[in-house]
Chain A
Amino acid sequence: MIPALIYVVSLVVLIQFFVYYCRSVLASSRKVELSARVREAAGVGNSVAADDFQRFLELVRLCPENSADRAGIRAVGAYYSLLHVLARLSRATVPSVAAWAERERQGCSHFAAVALDRRISFSRDLFVQQASSRP
């Protein structure tokens, strides 16, 4: 009985901590303005949509890997999948939860766009370094 109780409580607490952690990671990118080159590369307007996340992620994967943002992208990717399931399940039954999940998914897309922007800058820096080191 006690292990079952510990398991259930731990699982509920784990989900809460995971959601808060992802939100704290997303909060760091929320105020960052997207550059014109990212909007151009992804073909989006001034704001990103919730469903743009996968597209941004594919573009991020095309850029040379930067180990500094890998863990954050993975955590947010898992959070996005969780939100996707939640939004689908709650759309018909609890619309307010579905609306919240949609806003969060939009935040995830913005995070991925910011990550793409950073990777493009990183790639450019690499290119400039290589070009300048050539004889």
Chain B
Amino acid sequence: MLGPVDYALWIAGFVFEAAAVLSIFYRKAFARYYSICLYMACTFFVQGAQYICFLKFGFRSPQYFHLYYYSDSLLTILLFFVVMHLYLLVFAGMDTDRHIRAGAVLLLFLTAALSYLVVRQHRTHLTEHFVVELGQGLYFVGTVLTYILWGAMIKLRERRARLVQMVLALGIYYSATAGVYALRDLFPAWRAAMIWVPPAANVWLSLAWTLAFLRTREEASLMVPTLAAKAR
């Protein structure tokens, strides 16, 4: 049964996802950040579908279970395209970045295709252990990709404050979720204690991106190399 914390996270997720989409339009940044807008809109609608499914079939029903983990895997793949888009924004206007971009695109497409095939093959017996393992793998790939992107941003002396904050927020989201999925795989008995972390991470991501759009101007700059050097 869902408690007040679960409902609060659900509502907060709804509100901040809508806020993220609206803030992108408010700042007239859709053309530049269309992938983020699309991802946030999809997350909003998926949460709506999950809520309807929850009301109709209940939290412990197989229908809700399938919808939750199916949509979660598909949203993770969609988020990979956001990462890819962030790569393109960071490496925009460079000639030397072709190989890195090609590698990132290939890795993303391979992961997406492989995940899709694996989920499709297991759709009749989508066990909890399997989906936890899949989620753990997908989020970990996301963590690695975001970490490589962040490393490249430091190397390239990226100065765009909004982009920096968006990538760091995404890194926090990916690493927190991958860590929790790994912990669930290690200790399945702790599942109930950790079930609120992925929705909380989702609230974090939509809130952090909303704030990045509302509070940080596109032209605002930040010294990333200094940020990294002093943090060591």
Contacts and interface: CB of A to CB of B under 8 A. Distances in A.
Interface stretch (A8-16, A38-46, A55-63, A108-116): A8-16
Contact of A27 (B179, B215, B227): B227
A3 B211 contact: no
Contact of A68 (B178, B208, B215, B220): B215
Contact of A17 (B172, B211, B214, B222): B172
A71 B223 CA distance: 22
Contacts of A21: 165, 168-169, 171-172, 208
A68 B213 CA distance: 12
Interface string A65-82: 000100110000000000
Interface in B172-217: 172, 175-176, 178-179, 181-183, 185-186, 207-208, 211, 214-216
Given A3-B136, A72-B211, A13 B227 contact: no
Interface of B: 136, 140, 143, 146-147, 150, 161, 164-165, 168-169, 171-172, 175-176, 178-179, 181-183, 185-186, 207-208, 211, 214-216, 220, 222-223, 227-228, 230-231
Contact of B178 (A10, A25, A72, A100): A10
B230 A13 contact: no
Given A14-B179, A19-B231, A68-B215, A24 B222 contact: yes
Contacts, number: 84
A93 interface: no
Chain A interface, >50% SS class: helix
Interface residues of A, number: 25
- What are the 9 tightest A-B residue pairs by CB atom distance, in nearest-first order? A10-B179, A17-B171, A14-B175, A7-B182, A3-B185, A6-B182, A21-B168, A10-B178, A13-B175
A4 B176 contact: no
A10 B140 contact: yes
A28 B162 CA distance: 11
A72 B212 CA distance: 11
Interface string A86-108: 00000000000000100100000
Given A10-B178, A10-B179, 7 more contacts: A4-B182, A6-B181, A14-B179, A21-B169, A21-B172, A23-B227, A28-B161
A10 B161 contact: no
5 contacts: A3-B186, A19-B231, A24-B222, A72-B211, A100-B230
Given A3-B185, A24-B222, A11 B179 contact: yes
Contacts of B146: 17
Given A17-B175, A71-B211, A27 B223 contact: yes
A7 B183 contact: yes
A71 B207 contact: yes
A127 interface: no
A99 to B, nearest CB: 11
Contacts of A7: 179, 182-183, 186
B76 to A, nearest CB: 15
A20 B136 contact: no
A100 B172 CA distance: 23
Given A10-B182, A100-B230, A20 B150 contact: yes
Contacts of B223: 27
The CB with the most chain B CB atoms within 10 A, among A7, A9, A18, is that of: A7
